Amino acid sequence: MWTVPGFFFRENLARPASLAYIDAHSPNKDANMIRRQPDFPAEQTNAISTLLREPRGRTRSLLAANREGLAALEHRRNSRLAETALRRHAARLHFPQARNLRELLGDDPRPRLLTSYHFGDYIYGLNLLGATVNTRARAICLSRAPGSAAYFANMKLAFGETVMGPEARISSQKASSAGLAPLLRHPGIQIITFCDLAEPFGGRTEVDFLFRKAWFSRGPALLGLTNRIPLLPVINWFDGNRGQVVLGAQIEPERFSGETLAQATGRITAELVRFFEPFFRLNPEQWRHLGALPFYFFQAGGAGALQSKEKTHASTRQDLATARSPHQ
């Protein structure tokens, strides 16, 4: 069994889990791409199959489920929807730790980073998180996408007046650690940011992921350390019945004795990845960047060998152009 803060569940990577994710997220259930088995580039499928240690047929099913799920997410993000449908969808999201978060914000008003991944129904899940934060503090989202008028209208209808509006959105492509520092000196500021962006400020650092050496964004850890603010991991996850918003244990912005800034940044980034990995292992199709998975094993962002810790697994070479997801 995998153990995640607040939850206990069995590892289940059987095909029905992927179908359940599609059925819950697809605007057109009759157009199940997983049943049509769309073609994916052979190099992409082979590389992802190796990394997941799954048969190629299973990997194609996961990629199909991923593509269908992302289409549904984008539909609910950028298409104007009826209030009844939005309220119904929001009601299916479960945030059992909401009370704990409100208590934390009341007891510890320090600014903090709410660090997440593009996983599950992250669009609506993180807006539920932001609306919860706004009852006690102020939530700001550091995002690559500016957000459309339809998006903000949908979120307000779904979550009410406490939802994050356009004024609570900062472009991660334009932001810098130095530029965010003045904002992070204000008590109560809670910045929602992502740990899986390809090229955020701060670059990438080496971590262990899927029993291999991988490279993930060091930006959130660096931002927390340089501004001395804690990081609170959060993830959105579809458990087969409903969407869940799950919090991890808060990470303090501390450097151990004799630890350099680079070492501390790598250690905290590794903690964030360890929080994410059990969810990914359970339902890899729920990660937006599943199609670009090999990219996270390229140190310099170019083509390279996928190095395994175990000698029984052969290295695989993959071109970054075929590994990148069209949804990035």
Q: Can you give the residue ranges of every domain in the chain?
A: 11-323
The pLDDT-based confidence of 198 (bands split at 50, 70, 90) is low
Q: Which tens digits make up the pLDDT trace of 122-169?
A: 999 999 999 999 999 999 999 887 789 999 999 999 999 999 999 999
Amino acid identity for residue 66 in this structure? N
> Does the pLDDT value for residue 237 go beyond 50?
yes
Residue 58 has pLDDT above 90, yes or no: yes
Distance spanning both ends of the chain, measured CA to CA: 32
CB-count exposure of residue 300 (10 Å: 0-12, 13-18, 19+): exposed
- Mean pLDDT across the stretch 258-269? 96
Q: What are phi and psi of 275, to 5 degrees?
A: -65, -40
Binning the chain into helix, strand and coil, the percentages to the nearest 5 are 45, 20, 35
Select from 3.30.310, 3.30.70, 3.40.50, 3.40.1130 the CATH code of 11-323: 3.40.1130
Q: Kindly tell me if the per-residue pLDDT of 59 is higher than 60.
A: yes
Q: At what angle do helices 56-78 and 42-52 cross, to 10 degrees?
A: 100
Distance set, CA 230 to CA 111, 219, 300 (Å): 8, 14, 29
Longest dimension (CA), the chain: 59
Q: How many CB atoms lie within 10 A of CB 173?
A: 14
Residue 64 to residue 328: CA distance in whole angstroms? 16
Q: What is the pLDDT of residue 86?
A: 95
pTM for this model (two decimals): 0.80
Mean pLDDT of the chain: 82
Number of residues that make up the chain:
328
Predicted confidence at residue 65, as pLDDT, reads: 96
Question: For a pLDDT cut of 70, what percent of the chain falls above it?
Answer: 78
Question: Backbone phi, then psi, for 260, in 5-degree steps?
Answer: -80, 165
Q: What is the DSSP letter of 301?
A: S
Whether the Cβ atoms of residue 311 and residue 318 lie closer than 8 Å to each other? no
Indicate whether 319 pLDDT > 80: no
Residue 191: is its pLDDT beyond 60?
A: yes
Token digits of residue 196? 């899986």
Residue 30 pLDDT > 60, yes or no?
no
The amino acid present at 95, given as its one-letter code, is F
pLDDT of residue 300: 66
Residue with more model confidence, 223 or 312: 223
305-313 long-range contacts (CB < 8 A, ≥24 apart) are 306/47, 306/50, 306/51, 306/212, 307/212, 307/213, 308/211, 308/212, 309/211, 309/212, 309/213, 310/211, 313/50, 313/53
Alpha carbon distance 299, 304 (integer Å): 8
Task: Check residue 40 and give its pLDDT.
Answer: 82
Reported as a single tens digit per residue, the pLDDT across 73-129 is 999 998 999 999 999 999 999 999 999 999 999 999 999 999 999 999 999 999 999
Look at residue 216 and tell me whether its pLDDT is greater than 80. yes
pLDDT at position 174: 74
Beta bridge partners of 170: 142
At residue 2 the predicted structure's pLDDT band, cuts being 50, 70 and 90, is very low
Instruction: Answer yes or no: is pLDDT of 27 > 60.
Output: no
Higher pLDDT, 197 or 195: 195
